[in-house]
Amino acid sequence: MCMDNRKRLNIPEKFAYVIRTGAGNLRTSEFKVSYAIAVGGVRAIALIGHNNCGMANLKAKEQKFIDGLVEVGWDRKAAEDHFNHFAPMFEIGNELDFVMSEVKRLRQRYPKVLVAPMMYKLEDNRLYLLKDDKSEG
Ligand SMILES: [Zn+2]
C-alpha cells in the first residue's frame, strides 16, 4: 500500500503485511513483496494509491528537493546527483495511471497472486476499488 504521513489506515492485527511506499510504488520494495508472498504466504495484494500524491510529477519538485538537502548540509552537486539517480525510479507521473501500471507489473511478476488496484481519496477518506480490464465483463 502507499500512504504518506497524512493518513493511517486501521488494520486488524495479523491481518496483512503492510508495505508503506511512496505512491504504492513496489518497484522500490520488491524484496519485501517477494518475502511476504514466498515466506509469509500472501496470496492477495491490495495496491493502494492515493490522490494528491507527493510522488506524482516528482520532476516539478526537483529544485525544492535539492535546496532542501543543501539546507541540511548536503553539497549541491551531490544533492543533484541524488535526485537524478533516484527520481526516475520513484516518479509516478499520474496517480491513477501509475496504480494501474504497477498492478499490471505485479500480476506479471507474481502470476498466481491476486492484485487489486485501489485508490484512497484524501477528501472523503474513502477507499475505492479501481476497475480494470481483468475485473470487467
Ligand atoms: Zn503518496
Q: Give the tens place of pLDDT for each residue, 97-129.
A: 999 999 999 999 999 999 999 999 989 989 999
Q: Does domain 1-56+94-132 have CATH number 3.40.1050.10?
A: yes
In the reported structure, the alpha carbon of residue 14 is separated from the centroid of ligand 1 by a whole-number distance in angstroms of 24
**Residue bearing the bigger pLDDT, 47 or 3:** 47
Q: Is 53 exposed, middle or buried (0-12, 13-18, 19+ CB in 10 A)?
A: buried
The annotation status of 2 as a binding-site residue, yes or no, is no
What φ, ψ does residue 128 adopt, rounded to 5°? Answer: -115, 135
Cα(137) to centroid(ligand 1), Å: 31
C-alpha cell at 8: 493511517
Q: How far is the CA of 1 from the centre of ligand 1 (A)?
A: 10
Instruction: Look at 49 and 15; give whichever has higher pLDDT.
Output: 49
Grade residue 13 by pLDDT with cuts at 50, 70 and 90.
Answer: confident
Find the 50 Cα to ligand 1 centroid distance in Å: 6
> DSSP string covering the chain, please?
----TT------TTS------GGG-GGGSHHHHHHHHHTT---EEEEEEESS-TTBTGGGGHHHHHHHHHHTT--HHHHHHHHHHHHHHH--BSHHHHHHHHHHHHHHHSTTSEEEEEEEETTTTEEEEPP-GGG--
What's the 36 CA to ligand 1 centre distance in angstroms? 22
Q: pLDDT at position 14, please?
A: 78
Residue 136 has pLDDT above 50, yes or no: no
Q: Give pLDDT, residue 76.
A: 98
Q: Where are the domains of the chain?
A: 1-56+94-132, 57-91
- Which pLDDT score is estimated for 114? 96
What is the model's pLDDT at position 133?
A: 65
- What percent of the chain has a predicted confidence (pLDDT) above 90? 61
